Amino acid sequence: MQKKIVLIGAGYWGTNIANNLIKLGFKKFWLYDSSKKSSITLKKRYPKNIIIISNLNKFYKDKKFKYFIYATPPSKNLKLIIPALKNKKIIFIEKPGFKNLDEINLIIKKYPKEVKSIMFGYIYMFNNYINYIKKFINNKKNGKILYIKFQRQNLGPIRNDVDVSYDLSSHDLSILNFLFDNKKLKIIKNQSYKLLNSKIADLSNLSLKINNIYIDINNSWINPDKIRRLIIITKKKMLLFDEMLNENKIKIYNKYADYPKTELLKNNFFNRKIKIHIGKNNSPKIQSNDSLFDEMKFFTNSNQKKIYKDKYLNINAGKSILKILSNINRNN
């Protein structure tokens, strides 16, 4: 018997999730959205698969409905998810999940066992390129990591309930948690600009540190073109991940710079000039995958134990990212 899934949210991302549920072979699922117009629009696209519902309460109470997917704004999620927790549902919630740290602390305190069933939608955990980059970082032959830079920019979508750091930086923070096994991130500096709304930042420049590795995260949703880039500088190499390229998304440059050791210099009066080393560059062959498809496959095949065991997607991972985002906004 096929699992019964309720999808809450028929907007842009909810539509993408619906599409992937159908690709996964779900013959039907139940859809709720506060906008009847959005629900009907999505129903027209998949008439046989989608059953529109107008009231969630009876589905929360029905034990046959176990899986609940929330593609809804963070400002609405607390109210929507508490009934699911009370009724012990398996929950998928799009990043960053909640509007602030207080909300996630509240549900952890009230529902300490049930929150172990919450999976956060950090899609890059299922991205083959990010998985390759983790191997690159862990390979000591590539040299010590010195610096990392994230660029995530586009024109829209522009949120009205959370700022650009909650919407976009959360992706990059989840990637950092994954690459460095949840090592503590230290905020060095944050600069943000509120251009369209006096309460919500549209551009964010965040500087962080993990051990002796410096990190910059640059986000904007009012940029003329779409940029999705990750740069890693090591002692021996440089890696560029450009997500917008159709092929060769990752390039590894065998280029690096260093100073010669002083004791090796023969002159009494010397100029300790930096050396630039340039070798062959390469683009590793990596099989592209549909990260959202793989994410939905993981969730619909999960139970509480499997979700809680995943340290990059569980309630603790979601809280760690919200903690950083809350600190950023507190300092603005």
CB atoms within 10 A of CB 87: 17
For 150-215, the DSSP string reads EEEEEE-PPPSSS-HIIIIIHHHHHHHHHHTTTPPPEEEEEEEE-SSBTTB-SEEEEEEEETTEEE
pLDDT digits (tens, 9 = 90+) for 159-187: 888 899 999 999 999 999 999 999 999 99
- Give the helix/strand (H/E) hosting 44: helix 36-45
- Give the helix/strand (H/E) hosting 5: strand 4-8
Q: Which domains does the chain have, with CATH numbers?
A: 4-121+293-313 (3.40.50.720), 128-288 (3.30.360.10)
Regarding beta strands 275-278 and 255-258, do their DSSP bridges make them parallel or antiparallel, or are they unpaired?
antiparallel
SS3 for 41-106, per residue?
HHHHHCCCCEEECCCCHHHHHCCCEEEEEECCCHHHHHHHHHHHHHCCCEEEEECCCCCCHHHHHH
Tokens of residue 123, six digits = 């899609």
pLDDT digits (tens, 9 = 90+) for 93-107: 999 999 999 999 999
pLDDT digits (tens, 9 = 90+) for 70-82: 999 999 999 999 9
Single pTM value for the model: 0.91
Most distant pair of Cα atoms in the chain: their distance: 85
pLDDT digits (tens, 9 = 90+) for 130-158: 999 999 999 999 999 999 999 999 998 88
Single-letter amino acid, residue 327: N
pLDDT for 275 equals 66
Q: Which of 248, 300, 257, 325 is nearest to 68 (CA)?
A: 300
Mean pLDDT, residues 254-271 taken together: 58
